Structure 1
Amino acid sequence: MIRRQFFFALLTLIAFCGLDATSTVEFKYPSDANIVGHVKDSKTGEHLIGITIAIKGTTFGTSTDVTGHYFLRNLRPGEITLVMRGMGYKSQERVVLVQKDKTIEVNFEAEEDAIKLDDVVISANRELTLRRLAPTLVNVLSDKVFAQVNASNLAQGLVFQPGVRVENNCQNCGFNQVRINGLDGRYAQILIDSRPIMSALAGVYGLEQIPANMIERVEVVRGGGSALYGSSAIAGVVNIITKEPTRNSFTFNESMSFTDFSKIDNNANFNASIVSDDNRAGAMVFGQARYRSPWDADGDSYSELGKINARSLGTHAYLRLTDYSKLTGEFHTLSEFRRGGDRIDLPPHVVGVAEQTDHSVYSGNLKYDLYSNNYKHHFQAYTSGQIVNRESYYGGIGEIDVNGHVGGSLGYPIPQEAYGNNYGVTKGRTYMAGLQYSYDLDHFLFMPSQLLFGAEYTRDELNDVMPLLAWQIAMDENGNPIHDANGQVIPLYPELDQNINNYSLFGQNEWKNDRWSFLLGARLDKHTEVKDMILSPRATLRYNPTRDINLRATYAKGFRAPQVFDEDLHVGVVGGEAQKVFNDPNLKPEISHAFSLSADLYHRFGNVQANLLVEGFYTRLNDVFTNEEQPDQHDGIKRYTRVNGSGAKVFGLNL
Structure 2
Amino acid sequence: MMCLFLGLASLFPQDREPQPSPEYALSGRVRDADGPVPLANVFISETASGTATDFDGRFRLEGLPQGEYTLVVSAVGYGTHRRKVEVGNGPGDPLEILLHPGTEQLDETVVTGTLKAVRRFESPVPVEVYSPAFIRKNPTANVFEALQAVNGVRPQINCNVCNTGDIHINGLEGPYTLVLIDGMPIVSGLGTVYGLSGIPNALIEQIEIVKGPASSLYGSEAVGGLINIITKNTLSAPEFFTDGFATGWGEYNLDAGGKFRLGEKARVLTGINYFNYDVPVDHNGDNFTDVTLQDRISVFQKWNFLRDASRELTLAGRFFYEDRWGGEMQWTPEFRGTDSIYGESIYTRRWEFLGRYQLPVPEKLLLAVSYNDHRQDSYYGDLPYFADQRIGFGQLTWDKPAGRHDLLVGAAIRYNYYDDNTPATGSASGNAPDRVWIPSLFVQDEIRLMDRHTLLAGLRYDQDPRHGGIWTPRGAIKFQLAEHELLRVNFGTGFRVVNLFTEDHAALTGARDVVIEEDLLPERSWNLNLNYLRKIYTPEGHFLGLDASVFYTDFSNQILPDYDTDPNQIIYRNLDGRSVSRGISANVNFAFAGGLRLDAGTTLQDVRVFSDIANSRPVLTERYSATWSVSFPIRPLGLTVDYTGNLYGPMRLPLAGELDPRPEYSPAWSIQNIQFTYKGLNHIEIYAGIKNLLDWTPGRNAPFLIARAGDPFDKEVVYNASGDPVPSPGNPYGLTFDPAYVYGPNQGIRGFAGLRYRLD
TM-score between both structures, scaled by the size of structure 2: 0.61
Other-structure match for 1:282? 267
User: Can you list the C-alpha shifts for 1:139-177, whole angstroms capped at 9, x where unaligned?
Assistant: 111112223321221012211222212222222111122
After superposition, where does 1:396-545 map in structure 2 within 5 Å? 396=381, 420=382, 422-442=383-403, 448-465=404-421, 495-512=431-448, 515-530=452-467, 532-545=468-481
Q: Which residue of 2 aligns with 1:80?
A: none
Distance 1:164 1:643, change over 3 A: closer
Query: 3-state SS of the aligned residue for 1:533?
Result: strand
Q: Spell out, residue by residue over 1:577-608, the C-alpha distance to the aligned partner (whole angstroms, 9 max, x if none).
A: 6x3454724x4211101001011111124333
Gap change, CA 1:641 and 1:651, over 3 Å in 2: closer
Taking the aligned partners of 2:153 and 2:501, their CA distance within structure 1 comes to 27
CA RMSD of aligned residues (A): 3.5
Long gaps (5+) in structure 2: 1-35, 46-69, 82-94, 587-760
Partner of 1:650: 581
Partner of 1:251: 241
Residues 573-592 of structure 1: matches in 2 within 5 Å? 573-575=509-511, 579-582=513-516, 584-585=518-519, 587-592=520-525
For the structure 1 residues 312 and 617, does the alpha-carbon distance in structure 2 shift closer, same or farther, using more than 3 Å as the test? same
Rate the CA distance shift 1:573–1:245 in 2: closer, same or farther, 3 A. closer
User: Where in structure 2 are the equivalents of 1:67-216 lying within 5 Å?
Assistant: 88-89=77-78, 108-110=97-99, 116-216=105-205
| Separation (CA, whole Å) in 2 of partners of 1:371 and 1:120 | 25
Question: What is aligned with 2:24?
Answer: none
Amino acid at match of 2:136: A
How far did 1:295 drift?
Answer: 2.8
Shift of 1:563: 3.9
Question: Identity over the aligned pairs, expressed in percent?
Answer: 24
Distance 1:463 1:583, change over 3 A: farther
Aligned counterparts of 1:344 and 1:543: Cα–Cα separation in 2 = 62
Once the 2 structures are TM-superposed, how far is the Cα of residue 529 of structure 1 from its aligned partner?
2.8
SS at match of 1:186: helix
Distance 1:303 1:177 in 2: 20
Question: Secondary structure of the residue that 2:133 maps to in structure 1?
Answer: helix
- Are residues 317 and 340 of structure 1, via their aligned partners in 2, closer, same or farther at CA, if it must alter by over 3 Å? same
Do the aligned residues in 2 keep the contact of 1:136 with 1:554 (CA within 8 Å)?
A: yes
* Correspondent of 1:546 among 469, 482, 485: 482
1:625–1:645 contact (8 Å) kept in structure 2: no
Spell out, residue by residue over 1:305-346, the C-alpha distance to the aligned partner (whole angstroms, 9 max, x if none). 110110011101111221242210110111111111213642
Cα separation, 2, equivalents of 1:573 and 1:510:
46
1:239-264 per-residue CA deviation (whole Å, 9 max, x = no partner) reads 11122212561112211112xxxx21
Give the aligned residue type for 1:501.
W
Query: Who is 2:9 aligned against?
Result: none
Relative to structure 1, is the Cα distance of residues 502 and 218 closer, same or farther in structure 2, using a 3 angstrom cutoff? same
Task: Work out which of the residue numbers 248, 262, 271 in structure 1 matches 2:257.
Answer: 271
Cα distance, 1:639–1:138 mapped onto 2, change above 3 Å: closer
Cα 1:645–1:338 change in 2 (3 A) is farther
Pair 457,428 (structure 1): closer, same or farther in 2 beyond 3 Å: same
Which amino acid in the other structure matches residue 177 of structure 1? D
Kindly provide the CA deviation profile for residues 56-97 of structure 1, in whole angstroms up to 9, marking residues without a partner as x.
Answer: xxxxxxxxxxxx9xxxxxxxxxxxxxxxx99950799xxxxx
The Cα of 1:567 is off from its aligned counterpart by 3.5
8 Å contact 1:115–1:611 — kept in the other structure? no
1:256 and 1:511, CA in 2 relative to 1: closer, same or farther beyond 3 A? same
Following the alignment from structure 1 to structure 2, what is the Cα–Cα distance between the partners of residues 174 and 573? 9
Q: Residue 293 of structure 2 corresponds to which residue in structure 1?
A: 307
Matched with 1:72 is: none
Between the aligned partners of 1:148 and 1:641, the Cα distance in structure 2 is 40
Count of aligned pairs between the two proteins: 501
Q: Conserved in 2, the CA contact under 8 Å of 1:224 and 1:236?
A: yes
Question: Secondary structure in 1 aligned to 2:185?
Answer: coil
- Code of the residue aligned with 2:353 in structure 1: it is G
Letter of the 1:507 counterpart: V
Q: Supply the AA of the counterpart residue of 1:434.
A: Q
Runs of 4+ in 1 over 3 A off after TM superposition: 39-42, 85-88, 111-115, 275-278, 350-353, 370-373, 563-575, 579-583, 626-629, 637-644
CA separation in 2, counterparts of 1:642 and 1:454? Answer: 34
1:337 and 1:90 map into 2 onto residues whose CA distance is 39
Q: Does the CA-based 8 Å contact 1:465-1:496 persist in structure 2?
A: no
- 2:492 aligns with 556
Give SS of 1:43's match: strand
Residues 277, 116 of structure 1: alpha-carbon distance in 2 compared, 3 angstrom cutoff: farther
1:350 CA displacement: 4.2
| 1:55-74 equivalent positions in 2, closer than 5 A | none
The whole-number CA distance in structure 1 between the counterparts of 2:458 and 2:414 is 20
TM-score by length of 1: 0.70
